[in-house]
Amino acid sequence: MSDGGQAPGVGGGPPGDSWTKRLFRLREEPPYYVRILLGVSSVGLLLLVWGGMTSGDIPEHRAISPAVLPSLGETAQSLPRLFGERGLIASIAASLTRVFLGFGLACVIGIPFGMLAGAWRPLNAFVTPLVIFGRNIPIAALIPLTLMWFGIDETQKVMFLFIATVPFVFSSAASAVVAIHQRYVETAQTLGASSWQVFRKVLAPLALPQVFTDQRQLFGLAFGYIMLAELVNAKRGLGFLIQMSQKRSQPEDILMILVIIGLLAWLIDKTLSWFQRGLFPYRRDL
């Protein structure tokens, strides 16, 4: 980490610089362990602030009352209860199943149609008003509506997610195809490819990595939405669990569930990103 007596490079470029200078270099990714360290320290900082605000032997000594923000210890103690009597695993399974079904359906329908619409723009023009409408529906209005249309069972949750996410999936897939440089199409055409061959062999595969990246992000959206749906008329699910915790005045349960949701989302994203790298070896930037 020391300068090692090397002459500084012109313009502060080469690795002879001190590590502080290197931290501030534009667009340069720090080494793996530095990245981990930085990430851990942001979480650590949050915990530190949290711990500080909730320290004190008796509630009156705390900066924030335990009814508002429980201490770290109290939050950790909710773990056995959550896994035990409150059935956290079953709720996680219920929520994830709904997301996979609802968002999965949105992908199965939205991605092919979106990609086709990106390639055949009249189709895009035809669907665009619906998509804009769909992306701007107040999500809160969709819950009562889907309850009336699909009842109070799983179908309602899945369809709610589908309707809420399919416009986003569609337009992300369409833009990914639109963004592919026309040169690729022209090259394929001068090599004798038919329109369908250009789509299938060039446009679609070139757009897929971006489509995949977009769906990774939208998955987060879907995961957030499902808890919303679970606030109403649900018997299982993370949203339901959170709502019950509120009714029982157990903020430490809510916090713990949020931590677990965060970990879960991170784990799923890592898995997807691992798949993505395997699926698209030609994109070294993923």
Contact residues: another protein, CB under 8 A: 181, 183-184, 186-194, 197, 201-202, 205-206, 208, 280-284
Give the residue among 226, 211, 90, 243 at the shortest CA–CA distance from 165.
Answer: 226
Query: At its nearest, how many Å lie between another protein and the CB of residue 251?
Result: 49
Contact in structure between 200 and 238 (CB atoms under 8 Å): no
Residue whose CB is less far from another protein, 153 or 186: 186
How many residues does this entry show for the chain? 286
Residue whose CB is less far from another protein, 130 or 191: 191
d(CA 113, CA 127): 10
Which pairs count as long-range contacts for 13-17, CB under 8 Å and 24+ apart, including other chains? none
Query: At its nearest, how many Å lie between another protein and the CB of residue 282?
Result: 4
Residue whose CB is less far from another protein, 142 or 188: 188
Here the tokens at position 28 are: 């340069």
The contacts of residue 175 (CB under 8 Å, 6+ apart) are 118
Residue whose CB is less far from another protein, 216 or 283: 283
Residue whose CB is less far from another protein, 3 or 186: 186
Here the tokens at position 158 are: 């899945």
Query: At its nearest, how many Å lie between another protein and the CB of residue 183?
Result: 4
Query: At its nearest, how many Å lie between another protein and the CB of residue 92?
Result: 36
Query: At its nearest, how many Å lie between another protein and the CB of residue 196?
Result: 10
